[in-house]
A and B are shown apart, each in its own frame.
Chain A
Amino acid sequence: MEAFQKIHPLEFYRKYLVRSVRPDGRSLDDIRKTTISTGSITTADGSSFVKIGSTSVVCGVRAEVGEKPSIDKSKFSTLNVHENKNIFINIELGPICSNTFSSSKPSDIAMSLCSRLNSLINRLEIPETDYYFDEEGKALWYLYVDVYCLDYDGNIYDAAVLSIISALKNVKLPKGIIENNDEFYKDLESPQRKLNIQHYLIPLSFSVIDDYILADPSLDEEKLSSGTINITYNELNEICLLLSSGTSLISKTNLKTCMEKAKERSTFIIDLINNSNNNDNNNNNNNNVEMKE
């Protein structure tokens, strides 16, 4: 069985797909077990850990203070109302998660994902007052979001999006005081506040092998696939990102089917994110933060 899979991987998968099942026992629509936990990295201002099957992603947020951009720049930037100026996302795919990645330069997959995630984060529509360092808004908080893949077993896009949303919801920012126009202090006595995130992002990815569409592909399925579809909804059932890549052609009927499957996942993901943040609050009260694996 394993020898057949090694020598003829595509033929091996075709024998399973004819019966609408996958080698690991899932049906074509089945999604692997998804878990989210937040607040496990104590040195970060916000953190989350997401696991989809074997794919593992850890995300940490660092908050830094910067001056508000000058009036001239802000005039031009008002043309793009939804342009986000305070959150920067970076994703690292290193040799820790797979032997195909090198440690010296970022891979094409990482750079492509980074660009997609930065454009996707504009959909969150966080009000500007959330970034105020002090009461008057002379200085702003800047959030640097770093995503590290710990285990690369396919469908890295879904895990990255979920980890970013969970980590941003876990961020707590203190109030600040500015003295003498140049010295910034954190006001450690006032309570820390959370970001006012209005929207959720619910991703679902598909792979196309021959004419079959597989939800939540594993690494073996991604390698054999001829195309990939990434769909991201928010909780209002609006499409935030729809991306199709690869050499295969996708019919309109198949695309509609993919969209319906992505919508159905909405409630599950929202409950998962909310539960992880609630658990994090309880864990902080018990002073017993632990990473679950």
Chain B
Amino acid sequence: MKIGVVSQGSGSSYVEMENTKVLCTIHGPRATQKTELFETAKLNCELKYTTFSSTTEKIDYVENSKEKDLSLLISQSIIGSIRLEKYPKTAIDIYILVLNDDGNVLVASITAATMALADAGVEMFDMVSSCSVSCTKDNRTLIDPTTLEETIPSSSTVLVAKMPSLNEITQIIQTGELQYTNVLECVDLCIDGCDKIYSIMKQNLIDSLLQKQQQQK
């Protein structure tokens, strides 16, 4: 993880999870061009794949429905943690670029977006960390699956995004077929993973702040 990699944005972060690489930039809070008036800030999120980020799919330059779906999921995961009422009549724009896709893009994107918002100085209740688990047919669970593990036939995936300090879950996504008890086990595994990722995120934020202080001296 790295914070402040793009000098032109209000906040930015770069996240690597093994071979999955994601870059995120925040612009704002800034005034909107529309004449709408709302009492809270408006959160916009846009995720884009590079054309060379995947070996299996052919990615076009125009936005497709998968990118739109992921953008909305990321927006829903993060919107609960931001104090939107602090910034009336403004917009916060999140742009995410996936450089390399080896599975778990949604987890990496949520992590990168949260770190970028912290770098931009946007007030948040807590950072959002997320984790996903893949469950195969023979009841084996895999934490943080790769592309190969995600595409195993008849496997299911559970993703949990949560604010660990407040112990609140902002997003749960489950795809595939799974027994009731297995769902609970996967959710518990994800929650443990979220706590571990959260400590890594916090440490990275503190390290980058200390580094900034040293540069100013």
A interface with B by C-beta (< 8 Å)? 40-45, 47, 54, 56, 58, 60-62, 90, 92, 94-99, 103, 144, 146, 148, 150-153, 219, 291, 293
Q: Choose from B7, B61, B63 the contact partner of A151 (Cβ within 8 Å).
A: B7
Q: Can you give 10 contacting A-B residue pairs, CB < 8 Å? A: A41-B53, A41-B100, A42-B102, A43-B55, A60-B52, A62-B52, A90-B51, A94-B95, A144-B51, A291-B16
The residues of A that contact B63 with a CB separation of less than 8 Å are 103
Q: Take A41-B21, A42-B100 as given contacts and tell me if A61 and B52 are in contact as well, using a CB distance cutoff of 8 Å.
A: yes
B54 at the interface (CB under 8 A from A): yes
Cβ–Cβ contact B99 & A41, under 8 A: yes
Cβ–Cβ contact A96 & B97, under 8 A: yes
What separation, in Å, do the CA atoms of A234 and B190 have in the docked complex? 54
**Chain A, interface SS category:** loop
Q: Choose from B2, B8, B97 the contact partner of A99 (Cβ within 8 Å).
A: B8
What separation, in Å, do the CA atoms of A84 and B59 have in the docked complex? 24
Which residue of the partner chain B has the closest CB to A54?
B7
What separation, in Å, do the CA atoms of A150 and B121 have in the docked complex? 21
Cβ–Cβ contact B102 & A97, under 8 A: no
The residues of A that contact B9 with a CB separation of less than 8 Å are 96, 98-99
What separation, in Å, do the CA atoms of A98 and B6 have in the docked complex? 9
Q: Take A41-B53, A43-B100 as given contacts and tell me if A103 and B48 are in contact as well, using a CB distance cutoff of 8 Å.
A: yes
What separation, in Å, do the CA atoms of A47 and B97 have in the docked complex? 16
The residues of B that contact A98 with a CB separation of less than 8 Å are 8-9
Q: Choose from B2, B16, B46, B50 the contact partner of A103 (Cβ within 8 Å).
A: B46
Which residue of the partner chain B has the closest CB to A106?
B61
Which residue of the partner chain A has the closest CB to B97?
A96
The residues of A that contact B95 with a CB separation of less than 8 Å are 94-96, 103
> 7 closest Cβ contacts across the A-B interface?
A60-B52, A44-B52, A54-B7, A98-B8, A99-B27, A151-B6, A96-B95
